[in-house]
Amino acid sequence: MRLSILGCYSATPRALNNTTSQVLEISNHMFLIDCGEGTQVELRRHKIKFNRIKHIFISHLHGDHFFGLVGLISTFRLLTREADLHIYGPKGIKEIVTLQMKLADSWTNYNLFFHELTSHASELIFEDNKVEVHTIPLNHRIYTNGFLFKEKKRERKLNIEAVKRANIDVAYYRKLKQGYDVKNEDGILIKNDSVTFPGKKPKSYAFCSDTMFKEDIVPIIKNTDVLYHESTFLEQHAHLAERTKHATAIQAAEIAKQAQVKTLILGHYSTRYDSINYFKKEAEQIFKNVLLAEDGKTFDL
Amino acid sequence: MRLSILGCYSATPRALNNTTSQVLEISNHMFLIDCGEGTQVELRRHKIKFNRIKHIFISHLHGDHFFGLVGLISTFRLLTREADLHIYGPKGIKEIVTLQMKLADSWTNYNLFFHELTSHASELIFEDNKVEVHTIPLNHRIYTNGFLFKEKKRERKLNIEAVKRANIDVAYYRKLKQGYDVKNEDGILIKNDSVTFPGKKPKSYAFCSDTMFKEDIVPIIKNTDVLYHESTFLEQHAHLAERTKHATAIQAAEIAKQAQVKTLILGHYSTRYDSINYFKKEAEQIFKNVLLAEDGKTFDL
């Protein structure tokens, strides 16, 4: 699982501060999460192949989270993309994109699917045989979802020597990988764990931005490996967090602690502070394993 | 008159190629012309004061000419702008911007005026006591206007020594500046040009992008000081220019020659060429005074 931070600052793009966008590589997918203005240029800087992005998740319709979307969709067209593209985001996102296409008289030459979200309860919005994606209803000034990416249980690995020694027919290998006990050629039941190794532990990632402190999300993200939680403000500006429905670093850490995640990544910083290290210091008072998102940083998780 | 090129490449923004946007300083105005994705960041790089921009002209609704507009409007709001903002552009631009504001539940705290254009004839769209702006109907795949910025005739300057020698009352100075002959205190008619100097010659600038070769614009831009004309392609790709309704460098030069402008600036280059100097070389076969737009370049004209 790899997370590339294209942008992690709040409000407006600046020469050295990109607004929110990140790419999550998990189970062979490249999921684009949020798409602030300039995201397509950052994708190029990161040398991310545009064609590998097939699913884009938009948390909410504030500009710093999606003003780069329509440009990216247009660029895909100019690059003669053929692969399907799926957009998941709040109701209204389809109208925004299609209105601009209509007025430009330029439609996509690939299939573009919109999955508009309206539910205030967590829901499964994408699933294949390897991974599933659920919404995390957040509490911000407008309708907002975080996204939980969960690998499915990985298959067990065959201990080839043991399997052969146990005289098991090759036709049963698939069942063994799925965790079943099987009978060998002599009709004897072979315990699965005597001939297989555990599969890799499935990974999970939760993206929660933008939101004020919201304990209701804890059961949804419980035991997640990595939590990205917004921390727009430091404690001295807790009143601003309250007023603008954002979170402080300490609040992000409190959520991480309650949800017993392994790692907390902070981001969505206000640009008013002279160093983002303050965010880490404050969060570490509550939760130990804190990382700082930074534009251009890639986390191998 | 000063022209700052924020971006001058066609199609899609890249790490080293911005899409169309430029700032024209003329008669104390700062006019923003087109607004591709990332324009707000380029304005910061150029250290252009956001509050000085009060008029934005959008040529057409292809993304590389306006995808930065809604972000700039939002950023103005976040910076607590108070000054009025006027947007001139094709019909539909208001709906694009207001739809996104409505869905973000965030309105401007300054007055925002849309001047939607639909005419296929040149029209006066802005005027004050120093400058006027006219549309230049272009021929592209969708409804497109160029813009002609013309300073009004400048007032004559008083030759203070001569005025005093001629014994003219101070109450007539304004009339003298306007070019009238006046009577002096002894009742004698004083010829204007005996006591004044000519005012500075008014400057003019024509922005023509995107368009295919269109001779109809020649009378509108006749004798303009500076013509910015798109030249997306070199001659070897004249067939592409024809098909996509763009111009070649030679066609841009032909327009400059027919309109007898003083200076031609080329821009809106396709990124397929390894050097933009080819554009200058080709244009110079037809017209002598050719300059090349480049991202980040400022022309003092």
Q: Which two tokens stand for residue A61?
A: 């319709």
Across the beta sheet with B298-300, what order do the strands follow?
Answer: B112-117, B85-90, B53-57, B29-33, B21-26, B2-7, B298-300
Size of interface A-B (CB pairs under 8 A): 96
Torsion angle of C-alpha atoms A62, A75, A294, B35, degrees rounded to 10: -60
Asked if A44 is an interface residue toward chain B (Cβ–Cβ < 8 A), one would say: yes
A103, A106, A141: best to mutate for the B interface, most B CBs within 10 A: A103
Residue found under tokens 């252009």: B48
Q: Could you report the per-residue pLDDT of A246-267, keeping only the tens digit for each? A: 999 999 999 999 999 999 999 9
**In degrees rounded to 5, what are phi and psi of residue A232?**
-65, -35
CA atoms within 13 A on the CB side of B227: 30
**Which is higher by pLDDT, A154 or B229?**
B229
The closest of A202, A205, A87 to A146, measured between CA atoms, is A205
B14, B65, B103: best to mutate for the A interface, most A CBs within 10 A: B103
- Closest-CA residue in chain A for B98? A96
pLDDT, residue A240, reads 98
pLDDT, residue B215, reads 97
Strand pairing class (A112-117; A85-90): parallel
pLDDT, residue B234, reads 98
**Mean pLDDT across the stretch B137-142?**
98
Give, in order, the Cα–Cα distances in Å from B235 to each of B267, B280, B282.
15, 12, 8
CA-based torsion, B194, B199, B200, B206: positive or negative: negative
Q: What angle do CA A269, A271, A275 make, to 5 degrees?
A: 80
Rounded distance, CA B161 to CA B284, Å? 47
B193 labelled as ligand-binding?
Answer: no
pLDDT, residue B89, reads 98
- For all residues of chain B together, what is the average pLDDT? 97
B295 labelled as ligand-binding?
Answer: no
pLDDT, residue A188, reads 96
* B-chain residues near A17 (CB < 8 A): none
> Are A39 and A7 a contacting pair, CB within 8 Å?
yes
Q: Could you report the per-residue pLDDT of B57-81, keeping only the tens digit for each? A: 999 999 999 999 999 999 999 999 9
**Backbone conformation region of residue B40, classed left if phi is above 0, alpha if psi is from -120 to 50, else beta:** alpha
Q: Report residue B193's pLDDT band, with 50, 70 and 90 as the boundaries.
A: very high
A195 to chain B, closest Cα gap in Å: 53
Q: Please give the class, per CATH, of domain B2-154+200-300.
A: alpha beta
Rounded distance, CA B151 to CA B136, Å? 16
pLDDT, residue B75, reads 97
Q: Return residue ranges of chain B for CATH 3.60.15.10.
A: 2-154+200-300
- The amino acid occupying position B33 is I
Asked if B240 is an interface residue toward chain A (Cβ–Cβ < 8 A), one would say: no
* B-chain residues near A13 (CB < 8 A): 38, 40-41, 71
Q: Could you report the per-residue pLDDT of A178-220, keeping only the tens digit for each? A: 999 999 999 999 999 999 999 989 999 999 999 999 999 999 9
Active-site residue list of A: 64
Asked if B68 is an interface residue toward chain A (Cβ–Cβ < 8 A), one would say: yes
If DSSP codes are grouped into helix, strand and coil, which group holds residue B162? Answer: helix
**In degrees rounded to 5, what are phi and psi of residue B123?**
-140, 155
The closest of B133, B129, B54, B131 to B86, measured between CA atoms, is B54
The closest of A71, A69, A76 to A108, measured between CA atoms, is A76
Active-site residue list of B: 64
> Are B131 and B106 a contacting pair, CB within 8 Å?
no
pLDDT, residue B154, reads 86
ipTM of this predicted structure: 0.91
Asked if A142 is an interface residue toward chain B (Cβ–Cβ < 8 A), one would say: yes
Rounded distance, CA B199 to CA A265, Å? 64
> Are A63 and B107 a contacting pair, CB within 8 Å?
no
CB within 8 Å: A12 and B68: no
* A-chain residues near B65 (CB < 8 A): none
pLDDT at B6 over 90: yes
* B-chain residues near A68 (CB < 8 A): 37
B62 labelled as ligand-binding?
Answer: yes
* B-chain residues near A74 (CB < 8 A): 12, 63, 67
A11, A13, A45 member nearest B41 (Cβ): A13
A11, A79, A103 member nearest B78 (Cβ): A11
Rounded distance, CA A252 to CA A207, Å? 12
Q: Return residue ranges of chain A for CATH 3.60.15.10.
A: 2-154+200-298
A13, A78, A142 member nearest B12 (Cβ): A78
A294 to chain B, closest Cα gap in Å: 18
- The amino acid occupying position A161 is E
Distance of CA B235 to the CA centre of its chain: 26
Asked if A192 is an interface residue toward chain B (Cβ–Cβ < 8 A), one would say: no
Strand pairing class (B53-57; B85-90): parallel
DSSP B192: G
Q: Could you report the per-residue pLDDT of A1-19, keeping only the tens digit for each? A: 999 999 999 999 999 999 9
Rounded distance, CA B70 to CA B13, Å? 16
- Closest-CA residue in chain A for B14? A41
Q: Which two tokens stand for residue A87?
A: 């957009």
pLDDT at A154 over 90: no
pLDDT at B152 over 90: yes
Q: What is the 3-state secondary structure (H, E, C) of chain B?
A: CEEEEEECECCCCECCECECEEEEEECCEEEEECCCCCHHHHHHHCCCCHHHEEEEECCCCCHHHHCCHHHHHHHHHHCCCCCCEEEEEECCHHHHHHHHHHHHCCCCCCCEEEEEECCCCCCEEEECCCEEEEEEECCCCCCCEEEEEEECCCCCEECHHHHHHCCCCHHHHHHHHCCCCEECCCCCEECHHHCEECCCCCCEEEEECCCCCCHHHHHHHCCCCEEEEECCECHHHHHHHHHHCCCEHHHHHHHHHHHCCCEEEEECECCCCCCCHHHHHHHHCCCCCEEECCCCCEEEC
Indicate the angle between helix axes A93-104 and A69-78, nearest 10 degrees. Answer: 50
- pLDDT over 90 for what percent of chain A? 98
B14, B61, B104 member nearest A41 (Cβ): B14
Stated as kind and residue range, the H or E segment containing B101 is: helix B93-104
Determine the topology of domain A2-154+200-298 in CATH: Metallo-beta-lactamase; Chain A (3.60.15)
**Mean pLDDT across the stretch A149-154?**
93
Q: What is the DSSP string of A255-298?
A: HHHHTT-SEEEEE-B-TTSS-THHHHHHHTTT-S-EEE--TT-E
> Are A105 and B90 a contacting pair, CB within 8 Å?
no
CB within 8 Å: A104 and B142: yes
**Mean pLDDT across the stretch B208-224?**
98
Asked if A37 is an interface residue toward chain B (Cβ–Cβ < 8 A), one would say: yes
* A-chain residues near B47 (CB < 8 A): none
